[in-house]
Amino acid sequence: MVRTENELKEKLQVLLKESNPDYRAIFKLTRDLSKLDKKYQHFFVDAKTLIHLGRDSIKDHTTALIELVKNSYDADSKNVDVDVYCRKGGNFIRVADNGFGMTKDDLVNGWLHIGFSNKRSSKRSKTGRRKTGEKGIGRISADRLGGNLELITKTEQDTLIGLIVNWDAFDVEGKDISDIDVELFYPTSINVPNKDGKPSLTGTEIKITNLRQNWSVSNIENLYYELSALTPPFNEVKDFQIELRNDIAPSFSKRVNSEFFKAAEIELDALYEGKGSDILYTIKDKYSKKVEIQEIKWQQLLSKINKAEDQEVSEDLKCGPISLKLLFFLREAASVQGTAFKLSELREFLDNNAGIKIYRDNIAVKPYGFPNSQFGYDWLELAERKAKDPAGIGRGAESYSVTPNQLIGAIFISRDNNIDLSDSAAREGLVESESFYDLRNFVLGSINMLETHRANIYPLIEKSRESKKTSSSKEAEQIQMQLFSVKEDLESIKTEIESTNTKSSTSDVTRPIEISIEKVDVITKKVDKTISELLNWNRVLSGLATIGISSAVFGHETEGSISLFTNATDNARLLIRSDPPDLVLAISEIDKALKHSKKVAAWGAYALTRVQREKRSKKNINIKKTIDAVVKELKPAFEASSIKIETEGEFLVSKTYQMDIESILINLLTNAYTACNLKPGVRRVVITIDREDTRVTQGYFFSVSDTGPGIAKEFQKRIFEPLFSTKTVSTGTSKSVGTGLGLTIVKSIVDDLSGNIKVDQDPELKGARFKIWLPKEK
Amino acid sequence: MAKIAIVDDNKEQRETNTIRLRLFLKELNSKIEVSDIFPFEKFSDYYGYIDSENIIALVIDEKLYNDSQLDRAPVEYNGSDLVGYIRERYKYIPIFTLTNFPEDQILQDKINEYDYIFSKKDFSIKQVEIINRACQRYLEENQKELSQVDDLTRKIASGKGEANDIEMLKALQIKLSIPFSSDLKDREEWLIEYEKQITELEELRFKLEKKLNK
């Protein structure tokens, strides 16, 4: 309805004269009047624009919620409650903080002023926090979360005030933004988190209802980790805590925390004060008790990462003062020992948080180090570096490098001290200036420092692992012990109840306990049976693997026998048929064929007898006899390679598994055979058996020595690692033909039998000598 | 007489395969003989062996380093190490491998050096036919070229040789791996040497006559 100028003026005068003027109507009339101005006109904004602005500036609903939490941070709150309920618990999102709150003036002239942010004029909050948002549109992104927003706020000076926004009202065609009402109200209470244990006098509570979408478990998970990344995980900002509650993924209803950092293997701190070339390093690790403190020059650090060669290096780092914290993790069970969480939790945490992030004024700068960001996650290109040189830690400090998913790092900068590290206008992240490259190289150099440290402590790590490892049979014992103690505990509870309770109720209470005791009994027996079955299987599998390995090595001999058998037989046939027949030669060929047919048969028997059932049970066996029998079986193969094999020592009897002794011996003999063949000249293998007692245990040993080239010192520690092999196709090539399983099997059997294995050089034969010590059982 | 050499460290295998090769060659009416040896300790011994025994083809086992003989320790190399060394001097001599492991990777890597890879398991007349044919071809080619060398040498020695004859002879010498004889390079030097020997002979005659006349 278009009115004339006079009509408008009249109506306005009437409204102004009323005792309780309708300001909304007055506002609309004056706006219509101002459109009649012959000289000055204004833009009008369609209500829908607000919705577009909010929706387009925010990626998804998680980010929208994070924006609201950021506002709480900027409001100097110590605690923020974040509630997301969209199932049985209700249908709302709530963000409540104990920050400084807003006055009515703040609300009307600030909060409702789109595009306005006081964060631009005052960059620091009252308590010195560097404010995070600047665009002044974070609040309208709340539209992404739900159709209705209710805000209640309280400052020290003002009374409680509230505001209601119905976002859907903006989502209509042809209305001016100012046509849509935002309702104020004056509540009597506010629910915000306590501050320092006491009810907070100030704060803001936002409740969003009529939710736009259902939150999934992974949404909540994502939210949790985004919230945990919002504030530094390094406890730098101790005064900011977020409590997440929801009815979608109950396991994430908890304080957003960073406990996981206790599981770090190595912790490195680097500090650059902003002037000069000195960088101060503090390195701690789980293994060596002391803290290492080092001062490194910038130039020195660059040379570590090969950056200093072709360019002049300035004295200072252009990026200004930085501090860096790096945490190095392993994704293995040992990492969580002594902490409150499980390995699966640590892994999940690493999957979500690994990466090196940049924190400006303690708030993360995206995309650096964010796992779900395509280019930002590995912005240091650590994965590419690792791919170029994948050497493991065992190869020494020179070439060892970490992978990006093992590191969690934080680089702390600030807007005011690191002016050159400014935001890029074109995209997420910082401008790639010289300052940025200095920062990058600083981080890369520090990672190198960490790698060197890890390589240096590697022997310590190895040692701690060795001592931690328990053999499977010992583990079985431990399980049985634990079950036994559960049973004992239950029994003592039962006795206690019986002695304290009155007779009538006793049986009611003790009956379930009796049932439990019976159950534990049954379980103990089952566990016992399962474990012994598994161990038996383990034994058979080791035996079978041993046959496989030895067959591959000694196979040449069998192959030769098979071809000789067929060819000699055929020769004999031809010699008899020829004119005149050569019977003498024919007979000698038949003899040869017979001899080799027996060899082939012997090999078949060798494989068949290896895993016989009676060899799998524990009983008294004559060690020397067992060894002699194996030697006799393998002798033809050794002799075919000109290897003289001999056994020295007395008969001795011990209660053990025959198959274990055989598997150990065959694996060692297979290795000795291969080693001997690597050298020309005299070839010998000597097996020695003897008694040897330690201070506490009676025992015996058998050793296998050969005339081969021996084992290089650098490999002596690694030969027991699975899949490590020194067997190459021939001298001078690096192609491995070994399976790398033989010695691993030997080691695991020896561990299981509570023995030990040593390797050195045989003083007489000059090749390797493996000595197996085992306790003598009766 | 021309021979095929069998090189194998395993005595029994070597003997059986020698018998087989002989039997089948006979069946194919081949005049070629067979010589079998335990591998030499040093590579260089093979050249002398090939020349002095008139070896025109070799059948080599791959895993030569296992066995020993009464007076001989196991060697340090395998067949595919040896073949390259022989090829350095005898570029076109037929060389075969006879092995239990024809699929062996090191052997397969050297496949270009061999004329054929045979498995011991199926070593019979078909394989020997291949060996025999290769020997015949090698012999014919060599005989043709050797007689050409003979002709050229005579021509050059008698002073009738032209520039391209000398080039041709050099090429054949390289191909057949015949060491250059220094006296052919310079006829004058040869003559001086020849005359020196004649002088010696004359001196001897003179001494003898003197003694007889006494």
**Whether the predicted pLDDT of A390 surpasses 80:** no
Angle at A153 between CA A151 and CA A155, to 5 degrees: 165
Lowest mean pLDDT among A470-479, A642-651, B78-87: A470-479
Residue B86, phi-psi category: left (phi > 0), alpha (psi -120 to 50), beta (remainder): alpha
Nearest Cα neighbor of A706 from A683, A737, A738 is A683
User: Is residue A149 helix, strand or coil?
Assistant: strand
Residue A271 tokens, joined: 């500090």
Nearest Cα neighbor of A410 from A261, A298, A196 is A261
3-state secondary structure A327-395: EECCCCHHHHCCCCCCHHHHHHHHHHHCEEEEEECCEEECCCCCCCCCCCCCCCCHHHHHHHCCCCHHH
Asked whether this complex has an ipTM greater than 0.95, the answer is no
**Whether the predicted pLDDT of A19 surpasses 60:** yes
Contact A574, A596 (CB under 8 A): no
Predicted confidence (pLDDT) per residue in A609-625, tens digit? 777 777 778 889 999 99
- Selecting from A567, A575, A585 the residue whose C-beta is nearest the C-beta of B17 gives A567
Nearest C-alpha in A relative to B10: A640
Predicted confidence (pLDDT) per residue in A123-149, tens digit? 555 554 555 555 566 788 888 899 999
Task: Look at residue B186 in the predicted model and tell me its pLDDT.
Answer: 58
Instruction: Output DSSP code: residue A133.
Output: -
β-pairing, B55-60 vs A699-706, is unpaired
Per the listing, tokens 């019979």 go with B124
Alpha-carbon distance B15 to nearest alpha carbon in chain A (angstroms): 9
Q: Give first-to-last CA distance, chain B, whole Å.
A: 51
| DSSP per-residue string spanning A199-226 | --SSEEEEEEEEESSPPPHHHHHHHHHH
Instruction: Output DSSP code: residue A265.
Output: S
What's the rounded mean pLDDT across residues A693-718?
84
Lowest mean pLDDT among A144-148, A362-366, A547-551, A634-638: A362-366
Q: Which element (helix H / strand E) includes B107?
A: helix B105-109
The residue ranking higher by pLDDT, A507 or B20, is: B20
Q: Which element (helix H / strand E) includes A588?
A: helix A583-610
**B chain contacts of residue A562, beta-carbon cutoff 8 Å:** 121
User: Which of B100, B101, B104, B106 has the most A C-beta neighbours within 10 Å, making it the best mutation to test the interface with A?
Assistant: B100
**A chain contacts of residue B13, beta-carbon cutoff 8 Å:** 560, 563-564
Instruction: Output DSSP code: residue A169.
Output: G
**Whether the predicted pLDDT of A395 surpasses 60:** no
What's the rounded mean pLDDT across residues A36-48?
89
Task: Look at residue A733 in the predicted model and tell me its pLDDT.
Answer: 38
What's the rounded mean pLDDT across residues A527-531?
84
CB A562 to CB B121 under 8 A?
Answer: yes
Q: Is B115 exposed, middle or buried (0-12, 13-18, 19+ CB in 10 A)?
A: middle
CA dist B95 to A407, B15, B130, B136, Å? 59, 19, 11, 13
Q: Which residues lie below 8 Å from residue A98, measured CB to CB, with a gap of 6+?
A: A77, A78, A79, A192, A193, A194, A195, A200, A202, A203
Alpha-carbon distance B177 to nearest alpha carbon in chain A (angstroms): 30
Give the separation between CA A629 and CA A659, rounded to whole angstroms: 12
What's the rounded mean pLDDT across residues A235-246?
74
Residue A421 tokens, joined: 């590290």
Nearest Cα neighbor of A574 from B128, B131, B207 is B128
Predicted confidence (pLDDT) per residue in A426-481, tens digit? 666 788 888 898 899 899 889 988 888 888 887 777 777 665 555 666 777 777 77
Task: Look at residue A729 in the predicted model and tell me its pLDDT.
Answer: 46
Contact A401, A391 (CB under 8 A): yes
Is the minimum CB–CB distance between A642 and chain B shorter than 8 Å? yes
Alpha-carbon distance B141 to nearest alpha carbon in chain A (angstroms): 33
Task: Look at residue A547 in the predicted model and tell me its pLDDT.
Answer: 83
Per the listing, tokens 């990626």 go with A59
**Whether the predicted pLDDT of A737 surpasses 70:** no
What's the rounded mean pLDDT across residues A366-375?
70
Give the separation between CA A252 and CA A83, rounded to whole angstroms: 11
Predicted confidence (pLDDT) per residue in B19-36, tens digit? 999 999 999 999 999 999
% of chain A exceeding 70 in pLDDT: 84
**Whether the predicted pLDDT of A191 surpasses 70:** yes
**Whether the predicted pLDDT of A685 surpasses 90:** yes
Nearest C-alpha in A relative to B81: A730
Alpha-carbon distance B90 to nearest alpha carbon in chain A (angstroms): 25
Is the backbone peptide bond immediately before A580 cis, with ω within 30 degrees of 0? yes
pTM above 0.80, yes or no: no
| DSSP per-residue string spanning A29-79 | HHHHHHTT-SS------BHHHHHHHHHHT-SSHHHHHHHHHHHHHHTT-SE
Task: Look at residue A202 in the predicted model and tell me its pLDDT.
Answer: 93
| DSSP per-residue string spanning A453-515 | HHHHTHHHHHHHHHHH---HHHHHHHHHHHHHHHHHHHHHHHHHHHHHS-HHHHHHHHHHHHH
Other CB atoms within a 10 A radius of the CB of residue B166 amount to 15
Interface size between A and B, measured as CB pairs under 8 A? 79
- Selecting from A560, A571, A683 the residue whose C-beta is nearest the C-beta of B10 gives A560
Alpha-carbon distance A642 to nearest alpha carbon in chain B (angstroms): 5
Instruction: Output DSSP code: residue A316.
Output: S
What's the rounded mean pLDDT across residues A702-709?
93
Across A383-392, B67-76, B179-188, which has the greatest mean pLDDT?
B67-76
Predicted confidence (pLDDT) per residue in B100-151, tens digit? 888 888 888 889 999 999 999 889 999 999 999 999 999 888 878 878 888 8
User: Which of A554, A562, A567, A673 has the most B C-beta neighbours within 10 Å, making it the best mutation to test the interface with B?
Assistant: A567
- Selecting from A559, A574, A683 the residue whose C-beta is nearest the C-beta of B74 gives A683
CB B74 to CB A570 under 8 A?
Answer: no
Contact A589, A575 (CB under 8 A): yes
Task: Look at residue A542 in the predicted model and tell me its pLDDT.
Answer: 86
Q: Which residues lie below 8 Å from residue A689, measured CB to CB, with a gap of 6+?
A: A623, A624, A627, A647, A648, A649, A650, A652, A700, A701, A702
Angle at B25 between CA B21 and CA B29, to 5 degrees: 170
Lowest mean pLDDT among A74-83, A544-553, B128-137: A544-553
**A chain contacts of residue B73, beta-carbon cutoff 8 Å:** 642, 680-682
Q: pLDDT class for A335, splitting at 50, 70, 90?
A: confident
Nearest C-alpha in B relative to A581: B23
Average pLDDT in chain A: 82
**Whether the predicted pLDDT of A32 surpasses 50:** yes
**Whether the predicted pLDDT of A605 surpasses 90:** no
**A chain contacts of residue B10, beta-carbon cutoff 8 Å:** 560, 640
Contact A319, A431 (CB under 8 A): no
What's the rounded mean pLDDT across residues A579-589?
91
Per the listing, tokens 């270009």 go with B112
Task: Look at residue A430 in the predicted model and tell me its pLDDT.
Answer: 84
User: Which of A557, A563, A583 has the most B C-beta neighbours within 10 Å, making it the best mutation to test the interface with B?
Assistant: A563
Other CB atoms within a 10 A radius of the CB of residue A302 amount to 19
Lowest mean pLDDT among A74-83, A531-540, A564-573, B100-109: A531-540
β-pairing, A699-706 vs A683-691, is antiparallel
Predicted confidence (pLDDT) per residue in A138-189, tens digit? 788 888 899 999 999 999 888 899 999 999 998 888 888 888 889 999 999 9
Task: Look at residue B89 in the predicted model and tell me its pLDDT.
Answer: 86
